[in-house]
Structure 1
Amino acid sequence: MATFTSSLPDDLLKEIADIASELNIPKNRLIEKALKAYLKKVKKAKYAASFKRMANDPDMIQMAEEGLQEWVQELQRIENEEG
């Protein structure tokens, strides 16, 4: 594990120390968990933004519609085989 040194505002450091003490975990563990949760949230936001961009992309819409048509045709084929 690598060592990372940083400066944080005093009030934030106190809050970290208080919560870590409350949870009975080391401060570095609390910071690690908080960063992981934040980075996960950032990834989700990026993922959602990419879908919003694709929703307005005519090429993506066309590909999705073509894929949907193929999926419907496959369902109809399966239904005809069963019926």
Structure 2
Amino acid sequence: MTTFTSSLPDQLLQKLSEAAQRLNLPKNKLIEKALEIYLDQLTRAEYVKSYCQAGQDESIILIAEEGMNEYMAQLNDEDEAR
């Protein structure tokens, strides 16, 4: 594990101290968990943005529709084979 030193505004540090005490967690663990959650949210937001962009792209929509048609054909073939 690497040590990281940073400056925080006094008000934010006070909130951190209060939350850490209330949750009975060391401040560094609370920061670690909060940062993990925030970075996960950023990653999810990037996925949402990319899917929204893909939803506006006609060529991607056509590819998806073709894939779904092929999938449905496979399901129908399996049903008929039973």
Q: Same fold (TM over 0.5)?
A: yes
In structure 1, the residue matched to 2:14 is: 14
The answer to whether structure 1 residue 42 and structure 2 residue 49 are counterparts is no
Name the count of aligned residue pairs: 82
User: How many percent of aligned residue pairs carry the same amino acid?
Assistant: 44
**RMSD across aligned positions (CA):** 0.9
TM-score, normalised on structure 1? 0.93
Q: Following the alignment from structure 2 to structure 1, what is the Cα–Cα distance between the partners of residues 54 and 31?
A: 35
Structure-1 residue corresponding to 2:64: 64
TM-score (norm 2): 0.94
Q: Spell out, residue by residue over 1:20-48, the C-alpha distance to the aligned partner (whole angstroms, 9 max, x if none).
A: 11111111111101101111111111111
Distance in structure 1 (CA, Å) of the matches to 2:52 and 2:63: 16
Unpaired runs of at least 5, structure 2: none
Once the two structures are TM-superposed, the CA of residue 10 in structure 1 deviates from its matched residue by 0.2
